[in-house]
Structure 1
Amino acid sequence: MPIKSSRPDVVIPEGSVYELLFGNLDPADENRIAIIDSATGSETTYGQLKAMINAFAGALTARGVQPHDVVALHCPNTLIFAVVFHGILRAGSTVTTVGSLATAQDIEKQLRDSQAKLVITTSMLGPAGLQAAEAVGISEDNVIDLTAPAGEVTTFQSLLAEGHQPPEVQINGATHIAALPYSSGTTGNPKGVMLSHRNLGANIAQLIPALDTVGLRRDSTVMAVLPFFHIYGMNVLLNNTLAARATLVTAPKFDLPQFLELHQKHNIDFSFIAPPIAVALAKHPIVDNYDLSALKNIQSGAAPLSRELADAVEKRLNVHVVQGFGMTEASPVTHNSIWGVTPIESIGASVANTECKVVDLAQPDLPEILPPSQGDLRSAAGEMWVRGPQVMVGYLNNEEATRNTLTEDGWLRTGDVVEYDANGIVFVVDRAKELIKYKGYQVAPAELEALLLGREDISDVAVVGFTRPEDGEEVPRAFIVPQSDSAGQTLVLDPEEIMAWVAERVSGYKKVRMVEFTDAIPKSATGKILRKELKVRPVTS
């Protein structure tokens, strides 16, 4: 039988995201600070934010933007992003968010596939957005440079100053597509993920009680450095913080000194992070130079977080660390842990109104893998499938990919390998596509990475599979960033010693068989290791 959520069901909103977040704004909340923009120093109240969103929606409609039109948004974490994103939704249009570091070629592909009618970009991110719009043939009238010098082109402030009223639009929450982020899914090229207003609204409703349990509440001040263009930053960080009526402190990009300074300056008590930030918080010496005593709770996501790394952060900062699981196709959260209740190395139990099951990777048509008989044991490993109101409508113009990811009865194949215990607590083993097959055995890179990160002389690490040309065998290959000493000098490590150290702690088939040193591990904006880049690196030793 599927594992049903142990959390009480919540009422799933059927209207628009705007109605959910701003439709019934309490007069008592209108003067609460919603967003502190670190790029400008501005402070915007909930009442001001709602007015700006309505004005932006009106300006879009006045320019001919219609319900269901796709509008591309290429903007870092700022007040502007929040206003434009929700202004697009308020106008009944669909927003496709573009990665801050995307190249002109990447953006061009997304504009063509999404059939975007309007491009909203910013010179803060360089010319890529403008170049892509030109390559696609979008006219200058349909390109908005939000932060260009006043008077030269249409800007954010000039659109607000037009003073248009927002349109009256009818939104069917179940079918009206609100957001179209791009994701590679469980494998393959990026695809447009169609998320309805109901999908996003459902996950907001599901997370309000879940995040309250781990410390996100009305009086919280929340760090917002994880990118809003990504579903984690978009619906968990931005939208759920607004739903809680807490205060967001935005940062356009992650810079460790600035990140720490903002925590100290604004007494941030709740921070959303990804594991690479956890590594910095646990290991970087500069952390000791800042007063982080206000920080009480940290929520990690986007990639697995090991117990050792979480413990190191908790002990150093005297905070509570929890982690969750999500994917773009699930708006994104399906599971979240609870500090002191579920093991920190787990992703916890499923959120409200959500089911999951674990199926055999080799034989998914068989009945799901059964739970163990005792709470301290785990099931066999298998792929996790989830079902709930937050699961996407499907992939844009890609029925084959949709069929491969969504079953006819609504199950989303996550592509993640997990185990679970008798209480329904889930533990991520690794991505199905990232498992290394050594002599028929499956080796999880995340397990080896967690082990190596436990060493004080290692700053960061990534493990990928490498096929040896001499025998065709795939073996674990570790890329390691050495730690620096107190004088800032990089430590000199011995690859043979590291491989021997790992071999003493794992089963024989899991041993690391290649070690190479590097200055940095390539990662996405949300902290996921870019394993494809590492897999093609030539062997240096």
Structure 2
Amino acid sequence: MPTYTSLLPPLPEPATSIWTYLFSRTHPYSSYSQYPEHYPAFIDAPTGRTLSRGALRSSTLRLAHGLRHPPRHALAPLARGDVALVFAPNTLAYPLVLFGLLAAGAAASPANPVYTPAELAHQYRDCGARLVFAVPDALPTVFAMLELVGVGEAEARRRVVVMQYDGSGRRGTAEGVDRDLVWLEELLAQGEERVEEKFDGGAAHATAYLCYSSGTTGKPKGVMTTHKNIVIETQILRATFPLLASGPGKDVLVGVLPLFHIYGLALLLHLAFVSGAPTLVMPRFDPEQFCANIARYRVTIGIIVPPIFLALVNHPATMRHDLSSLRYICSAAAPLSRDLALATAQKLASVGAHVVVGQGYGLTETSPGTHMLPFEWAMRKIGSCGVLVPNVEAKLVLSEDDATGEAKAEAAEWDPQEEERGGAGVKMSARGELWVRGPIVMKGYLNNPAATRASVTPSGWFKTGDIFVRDADGFWYVVDRKKELIKYKGFQVAPAELEALLLTHPSLVDAAVIGINDPVQATELPRAYVVPRGTPAPALDAEIQAWVAQRVAPHKRLRGGVVMVPEIPKSAAGKILRRELRERAKREGVRPAGTGSPGASSQGQVALAMAKL
């Protein structure tokens, strides 16, 4: 069976540090000197404050010096290989802190800013952080976390940096913040390192980032992403992402993706910078502000997730603002259906924004991107996540050897029964789990060799857990998660397929599908959780069940019922949190199809939930 390679030519694989690759004036693969230092690198959306390329470079070297030689002995100094945890929403200080840590030779572990103290404690303990960077509003959570892990009050103050930056060079102030804490601006005022900490040759395999991947079960795992992983991934993105034009009046990216997540971190912080295009930093997604900022800053490129596509289609803010500067929007982190992609393009065209809709695929463990949809093919292969990127191999696996963990059986190269997703007459492969191998695959899971062995084979293949097909033109399509497939009486049902269908129903704005266990029939039943558009009509649940039944094979019908909810639980990256829905389903129990939606006993309750939303 075939091992697939990229349709694109291979790229050089520099073995150097991320900081050197981004900021060196002399390294042969650094693009830093190609763009003037006064060009903006990052723009704070709420205030319009700008951090230029030159100011960012200088500030990262000053932060590196301040971390090695902290003021007042009030902070534990950082050494090469130490880890700092970054606990903040998107802010202008985020790239400064991450790149400053790298310049100092430390590793950064970005954390979800909505974590509770207990959740944060797991990441803090696991990554072995010596310092925590946190915005003022997050300090109560940080100190509660440090108390949980047994750090005394005096020592806790020596482990925290207040992450606030305005470029003034002065120590900040905020109500309720301990005066003894060290502020980011103080560290920037201690002096400047002459050169960055080097990670050349074999040293480039040192860990640079520790992002935490939640997976579908268990506690989040620390993914050891190396300097070399990110440098090569950025090389790949430069070659495969639609060309970014630099300079005043050229491309501007909207940075609403969470920067603690590998998707936002890799594209908004690294790719945009090496391309000379500024990123507009938004602290969170709000449809009104998102559209207003596109108009105000003339944003041209949106790197977003499917829930934002839904908002662009359904929220009235799309009609209220001038979005005509947009030329390209790209989705990743979760599958984007063909119908939603087309609906978004049509809605934006109706307000004067003629966009190309692209899509990519990747995981935290692959730094992240393994597939990218070429700009010129995007609207012809809509629904595809693209072609395999350079320097990466792939295979579609049906089963693996229990003893070695290597592939035992692989999917057929052609399957005449598979849906022709790539266009009429374009042959498709059979379905299989995507395995990938290449220089962007993580070093492993931190402190978890068993999980690493279960995910990466001895020969270097990473098992993604996602089911794919490939068309004869070399374009790939996500079918579903391996562990999320529903088994109805032996037939496989892909939740993503039903979700894509449900999103075309005129009365719905969002949907998620899970399998519920029916002990009477000894099988799983597909159940849909749906968000109605406005106040739902009476018996909408039964109407949706019948509507789906007319459009799918019998084994895909929603025999587990339809439940109306105010919103679908999702991660910050836009992925459906199916575990939460499964827990809810356990409480609701099994209801036969056609008897109403479990958990929604009256239309009044649903209307009240809509009002709260």
Q: 2:115: which partner in 1? A: 102
Stretch deviating more after TM superposition (337-346 or 68-77): 337-346
Structure 1: distance between partners of 2:550 and 2:104: 60
Q: 2:185 aligns with which of 154, 157, 160?
A: 157
Structure 1: distance between partners of 2:390 and 2:364: 18
Structure 1 SS opposite 2:158: helix
Structure 2 SS opposite 1:360: strand
Structure 1 SS opposite 2:529: strand
Structure 2 SS opposite 1:366: strand
Structure 1 SS opposite 2:182: coil
Amino acid at match of 2:364: T
Contact between 1:133 and 1:143, CA under 8 Å: does it hold in 2? Answer: no
Q: 1:354: which partner in 2? A: 392
- Residue 198 in structure 1 maps to residue 222 in structure 2: no
Contact between 2:35 and 2:276, CA under 8 Å: does it hold in 1? Answer: no
Q: 1:452: which partner in 2? A: 502
Q: 1:82: which partner in 2? A: 95
Q: 1:410: which partner in 2? A: 460
Q: 2:591: which partner in 1? A: none
Cα deviation, 1:22-65, whole Å, max 9, x if unaligned, reads 11232742011111112443111101111111111111111320
Structure 2: distance between partners of 1:535 and 1:168: 48
Deviation at 1:346, TM superposition (A): 0.9
Deviation at 1:216, TM superposition (A): 6.6
Cα deviation, 1:74-104, whole Å, max 9, x if unaligned, reads 1111110110011111111011110011111
Deviation at 1:189, TM superposition (A): 2.6
Structure 1: distance between partners of 2:571 and 2:472: 35
Structure 2: distance between partners of 1:166 and 1:525: 38
Deviation at 1:212, TM superposition (A): 2.8
Structure 1: distance between partners of 2:180 and 2:358: 47
Q: 2:43: which partner in 1? A: 36
Structure 2: distance between partners of 1:224 and 1:335: 21
- Residue 269 in structure 1 maps to residue 300 in structure 2: yes
Alignment of 1:130-141 (within 5 A): 130-136=143-149, 137=151, 139-141=156-158
TM-score by length of 1: 0.95
Structure 2: distance between partners of 1:156 and 1:38: 20
Deviation at 1:383, TM superposition (A): 0.2
- Residue 233 in structure 1 maps to residue 267 in structure 2: no
Deviation at 1:518, TM superposition (A): 0.5
Structure 1: distance between partners of 2:34 and 2:336: 40
Deviation at 1:123, TM superposition (A): 2.1
Structure 2: distance between partners of 1:103 and 1:216: 40
Stretch deviating more after TM superposition (46-55 or 222-231): 46-55
- Residue 212 in structure 1 maps to residue 219 in structure 2: no
Amino acid at match of 1:432: K
Structure 2 SS opposite 1:241: helix
Larger radius of gyration: 2
- Shift in alpha-carbon separation, 1:415–1:339, aligned structure 2, 3 A: same
Structure 1: distance between partners of 2:259 and 2:158: 26
Structure 1: distance between partners of 2:34 and 2:443: 35
Q: Alpha carbon RMSD of aligned pairs, Å?
A: 1.9
Q: 1:297 aligns with which of 301, 316, 328?
A: 328
Matched-pair identity in %: 39
Q: 2:204 aligns with which of 174, 190, 193?
A: 174
Amino acid at match of 2:101: I
Q: 2:527 aligns with which of 457, 469, 477?
A: 477
Structure 2 SS opposite 1:512: coil
| Number of corresponding residues | 536
Deviation at 1:196, TM superposition (A): 0.6
Structure 2: distance between partners of 1:341 and 1:284: 28
- Shift in alpha-carbon separation, 1:27–1:240, aligned structure 2, 3 A: closer
Structure 2: distance between partners of 1:184 and 1:396: 13
Q: 1:283: which partner in 2? A: 314
Deviation at 1:243, TM superposition (A): 1.1
Q: 1:523: which partner in 2? A: 570
Contact between 2:86 and 2:108, CA under 8 Å: does it hold in 1? Answer: yes
Structure 2 SS opposite 1:112: helix
Q: 1:242: which partner in 2? A: 273
Q: 1:422: which partner in 2? A: 472
Structure 2 SS opposite 1:180: strand
Structure 2 unpaired stretches of 5+? 26-31, 71-76, 165-171, 349-353, 417-424, 589-598, 601-613
Q: 1:319: which partner in 2? A: 355
Contact between 2:241 and 2:375, CA under 8 Å: does it hold in 1? Answer: no
Amino acid at match of 2:275: A
Structure 1 unpaired stretches of 5+? none
Deviation at 1:166, TM superposition (A): 5.6
Amino acid at match of 1:319: V
Contact between 2:306 and 2:334, CA under 8 Å: does it hold in 1? Answer: yes
Structure 2 SS opposite 1:4: coil
- Residue 535 in structure 1 maps to residue 582 in structure 2: yes
Contact between 1:453 and 1:461, CA under 8 Å: does it hold in 2? Answer: yes
Q: 2:484: which partner in 1? A: 434
Structure 2: distance between partners of 1:40 and 1:432: 44
Q: 2:24: which partner in 1? A: 23
Q: 1:391: which partner in 2? A: 441
Structure 1 SS opposite 2:242: helix
Structure 2: distance between partners of 1:165 and 1:365: 49
Alignment of 1:117-156 (within 5 A): 117-125=130-138, 127-136=140-149, 137=151, 139-147=156-164, 149=173, 153-156=181-184
Q: 2:541 aligns with which of 489, 492, 495?
A: 495
- Shift in alpha-carbon separation, 1:534–1:291, aligned structure 2, 3 A: same
Structure 1: distance between partners of 2:56 and 2:183: 17
- Residue 91 in structure 1 maps to residue 104 in structure 2: yes
Amino acid at match of 1:195: T
Structure 2: distance between partners of 1:268 and 1:313: 17
- Residue 57 in structure 1 maps to residue 59 in structure 2: no
Deviation at 1:237, TM superposition (A): 2.0
Deviation at 1:373, TM superposition (A): 8.0
Deviation at 1:368, TM superposition (A): 2.5
Deviation at 1:468, TM superposition (A): 2.3
Amino acid at match of 1:475: L
Structure 2: distance between partners of 1:2 and 1:217: 37
Stretch deviating more after TM superposition (129-138 or 263-272): 129-138
- Shift in alpha-carbon separation, 1:9–1:492, aligned structure 2, 3 A: farther
- Shift in alpha-carbon separation, 1:339–1:187, aligned structure 2, 3 A: farther
Structure 2 SS opposite 1:26: helix
- Residue 366 in structure 1 maps to residue 397 in structure 2: no
